[in-house]
Structures are given as C-alpha cells and as structure tokens.
Amino acid sequence: MKLTSGKVLARILLAAAIPLVFSAAGARADEIPKGWESTPNLKPIGYTDMDGRGGNVKMAIKHVGDRWYMYVSHMWQHGWTILDVTDATSPKVVKFIPGPPNGDTNQVDLHDNIMITALQNRAAYMSHDPSVPRDEGVIIWDITDPVNPKQLSRWETHGTGTHRDGYPGGKYVNLAAGMPGYNGQILVFLDISDPENPKEAGRWWMPGQKEGETPLPKNIYGFHGPAFIDGDRAYLGYSPWFVLLDIGNIAQPKLIGSLAFDPPFGGIQVHDAMPIPGKPFVFVHSEGTGGADSPTGPRACTGPMYLTAMVDIIDPTKPKLASIFPTPVPPPDVPYKDFCEKGGRFGPHNTNILQHSPDVEKQANLIYLTYFNAGLRIYDVEDPRLPKEVAWFIPPTPTKRLGPYPYDKLVNQTENVLVDTRGNIFVSDRQMGMFVLRYTGPGEPAPTAK
C-alpha cells in the first residue's frame, strides 16, 4: 500500500481542498507537525498542541447550537481541557479546568448536560497507609454551559477510585471501581437521577475477586471500563475475560456468558468490548503494555501477543473467538523491521467506543483503533471473520518530551481516537497534542452532521 509523507502533502491538501476558517478572534491555527506518514486515504487536516499540555488521553464531544466542544483528559496534568472544534482544521483551547492534585484525571465521558470525570489514586494501589494523600472516585458535572462546567457532586469508592467510567445517559453511570475488599476493579452502577446526591445502585464482580472467596486459577486484572450498554445487556472488557451481563435488574446483574483470553494473550487482555450493530459479533482488544513505562520496566513485546479480535456471540452463553486482526506493519522507509524494535509501547489501546453520544459516528463497517507507536489503524469488518486493514496514520517523532514515559525512546504514543458525526477523526498522543484526520477510503460512512 502506497504511503504519503506529511512533509509535503499536508500543506497541499489544506490549500487545495480544505478552506481554513478562523475563529472570530482571528487566532492562527497550530501548524500540523511535519514528518507524519500515512496511507493516501487518511490525512491530517488539523492539529492543536493543547497549549503545550501533553499526555492527552480520553475525549468526549458535544454539539451545542453552531459550536462543537471537545473535552480532553490528561495524563501529565491534573485537570481537563475544553477545545472548540467547530472548525476541525483549527481546534482552539477554550479553557483548562484544574483537577484535584492527588489523583489521576485522565478519563472523561458525557451525555446530554451531564459530564463525568474519573479520579484514580494509583499510589493507593501500592500503599495501605491511610496518611497517603488521595483524591479518588468520580466527579459529576453540569455542562449546560459547555465552557463553564459546574461541579454537582463527587462520589468516593473509599478505595483506589475509578478508572474508565461510562455514562450512556439516563439514571446510571457505570464505574470501573477499586472498592475496598476486592482484588482488582469491579463494576459498580451509580444512580445519578439526583446528580447532586449519587448513590450506588448495584455491583458485579467475577467470583474470586472478593476477599474470602476462593481465588480463581487466573490473574484477575478486573473491569477496565467502560461498560457498553445496549438495552438490558452490558458488554465488558473484564480482563482476562470478555463478559456479557444481563442488567435487567441493575441491583443484581447476572452473567450471560464469558470468554477468557489468558492464556494465550498478554497485556491487559480485554480492554474494550464493543458489539457490531446488526451482527452477532463483538470487537474486543487488549491494551498493549511494556514499552518501558518505568525505568526498569519491560520493553515492548516481551510477553505474549496482544489481542485484537472478533468474538462470535451467536450463542451469547458460549462466546467464541471468530477472527484475529492483522498485525500492523511498519512503513518501508523506517530503521526498524517491526514496531517492537521502534521503542515505546506497541499494541492496541483505544477504539471509537462512545457510541451513546449523538455526536459520535455510529459503528458500521470500520473499526478505528489506536496502537501506541504504530499510530492509528483503521480496519474494515464488513466480514467479521475476515477483518482487513484499510488505512493507517503514524504521527511524527516528538521533538520535546512532555512526560516521563516511554523511558527507553522518545517516540509517538498514540492514545485515543474519537470520530464525530461530521467525519472528523480526533487522535490524541502522550507526547504531542491532538491531530484531526479525514478518511476517504472504502467503508467511509456518510456524515450525518455539518
């Protein structure tokens, strides 16, 4: 597949095909960094350096009147950035909202006028000392005024906090919660019908997680989150399992079926689980680990292969593996033979999962998947048993270190992806800002918004 370099083509495309529309203040768009590579059908159209803030992780989007706002969480910063992405070729920072100083603030989700942001205290994983400062739980916000969120409440786990939480609208938030008395994160449903007074509505854990229960013969990472809610069903990445639950009674979720991926797969074995509309298949993938995320930590590809696959749920009580996605291949002009040699993390991480949002492109035949040092990969799953890679984009090598890892080499570490209903693909990176891409290849859905 022929590739294109950003050194020349980005400016040509922007000048010839995409009119630049500047904000009322006349602010200048951030220049797209040079050195990116991609297939010809996937090109950057915009970029923001996020006012120099790196570690951009999860994203959520909201269309209000004639404006589009993106809410971005951070890995290296305690807080959240609001972007105006009305003109996707020129994203603008509107505001940075500082967060609590002793907890990770790298998760965000929203629906209607409610936004949720997770707080997780990773130091609490390593210490039972009650004197260790910790900010943990989940914050509930009112975003009726989209650029001035108002904090409504904060709910605490009294444990390690929450990681990747989901809010599909309605009464319930689903939390990946580190609760006292459990090994690993569990699923907790929070009733926010009164958002100023949230209360627990139900919880579910894999038998063996609760203290005093017979341990399972597997290492349990637990619920990564968020749950994908579809009616009375909840699809979970509950590493090392894909888990399907009946949540008709939210207070007592019941297991429908599960499929374990340990062995043979490595990393956080099931990070996301997303059903494919109209087909009895679920897309599942792990999170690639390693890549020197600590000075003495493992390098990439030191463990088993990572998971990127389709699961057959024709019989939902007996899920089974249906297909494995092709492994990303480096461009031909690079000094490494595979991405394991490139440095940093290699492996899947995030997909366009916030399908509950009316402003997010609905799942059809394309899967958008970030792959850390392999950038963004796009797959066609029209035939779920024969997934095909149809496009990829790799950001340039960062020129400035914005956060501590990867420790081994300063390389791109593509984190998350969100596709809006206009067809804009937003991609965040640990060591850079945010790219906005456009895909023009096979399977491209028609935009449903302008």
Q: Over its length of 450 residues, how does the chain's per-residue pLDDT go in tens digits?
A: 444 444 333 333 333 333 333 333 445 679 999 999 999 999 999 999 999 988 888 999 999 999 999 999 998 889 999 999 999 999 999 999 999 988 899 999 999 999 999 999 876 555 556 676 779 999 999 999 999 999 999 999 999 999 999 999 999 999 999 999 999 999 999 999 999 999 999 999 999 999 999 988 778 889 999 999 999 999 999 999 999 999 999 999 999 999 999 989 998 999 999 999 999 999 999 999 887 777 777 778 888 999 999 999 999 999 999 999 999 999 999 999 999 999 999 999 999 999 999 999 999 999 999 999 999 999 999 999 999 999 999 999 999 999 888 888 999 999 999 999 999 999 999 999 999 999 999 898 899 998
Fold annotation for 4-439:
Methylamine Dehydrogenase; Chain H (2.130.10)
Name 148's Cβ contacts closer than 8 Å, sequence gap at least 6: 95
Cα→Cα distances 244→63, 67, 199, 377, Å: 31, 37, 24, 26
What number of CA atoms fall less than 13 Å from residue 137's CA on the CB side?
17
Sign of the CA dihedral running 377, 350, 170, 141:
negative
What was the pLDDT predicted at 318? 98
- Rounded Cα distance between 112 and 168, Å, is 9
Which residue is it, tokens 């797209």? 32
- C-beta separation of 336 from 330 below 8 A: yes
- The residue among 407, 436, 404, 425 whose CA lies nearest residue 54 is 404
Map out the domains of the chain as residue ranges.
4-439
- C-beta separation of 392 from 42 below 8 A: yes
Q: Which amino acid is at 317?
A: T
In 135-155, which positions are buried (b, 16+ CB within 10 angstroms) versus exposed (e)? bbbbbbbbbeebeebeebbeb
